[in-house]
């Protein structure tokens, strides 16, 4: 679980461990609590504001968000997994609009069968 605090103060717990988050901090909770002191709050709350915020996102993060939002399967070459992305687009945008935006990158993007989005390095 990941929690990012915009305002106020919140306590995060797991087992016997506890931590208090202050505005701008982010906690990643597994069997421990890892606090990021200066989280990208704008990126963390983009979904709430109706946007995808792909600034400093990896292909893995982009794929996960697109799969959930558009109910599709995203496939990409393993070498692209940590490739950095940048960009912001409304969640109201159609999948075709997102594909057009992605096509302006250094990747080849194609939709197969209407349900499978494939990313590959542009040759």
pLDDT digits over 103-115, tens only?
Answer: 777 888 889 998 8
pLDDT digits over 12-68, tens only?
Answer: 999 899 999 999 999 999 989 999 898 888 888 887 788 988 888 888 889 999 999
Q: For the chain, what is the domain count? A: 2
Q: Cα separation of 27 and 58, whole Å?
A: 19
Strand partners, 53: 88
Q: Residues 66, 116: one domain?
A: yes
Q: Residues 78, 114: one domain?
A: yes
Q: Residues 26, 56: one domain?
A: no
Supply the range of the domain harboring residue 19.
Answer: 2-41
> 3-state SS of 22-68?
CCCCEEEECCCEEEECCCCHHHHCCCCCCEEECCCEEHHHHHHHHHH
Q: What CATH code is carried by the domain that includes residue 85?
A: 3.55.50.30
The structure tokens listed for 46 are 């983009």
pTM of the model: 0.69
């Amino acid at each position: 679980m990941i929690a990012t605090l915009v305002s106020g103060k919140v306590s995060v717990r797991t087992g016997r461990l506890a931590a208090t988050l202050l505005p701008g901090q982010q906690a990643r909770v597994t069997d421990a609590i890892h606090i990021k002191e200066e989280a990208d709050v704008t990126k963390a709350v983009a979904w709430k504001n109706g946007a995808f915020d792909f600034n400093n996102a990896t292909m893995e993060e982009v794929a996960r968000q697109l799969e959930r939002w558009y109910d599709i399967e995203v496939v990409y070459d393993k070498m692209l997994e940590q490739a950095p992305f940048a960009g912001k687009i409304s969640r109201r945008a159609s999948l075709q609009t997102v594909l057009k935006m992605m096509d302006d990158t250094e990747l080849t993007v194609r939709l197969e069968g209407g349900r499978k989005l494939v990313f590959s390095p542009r040759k």
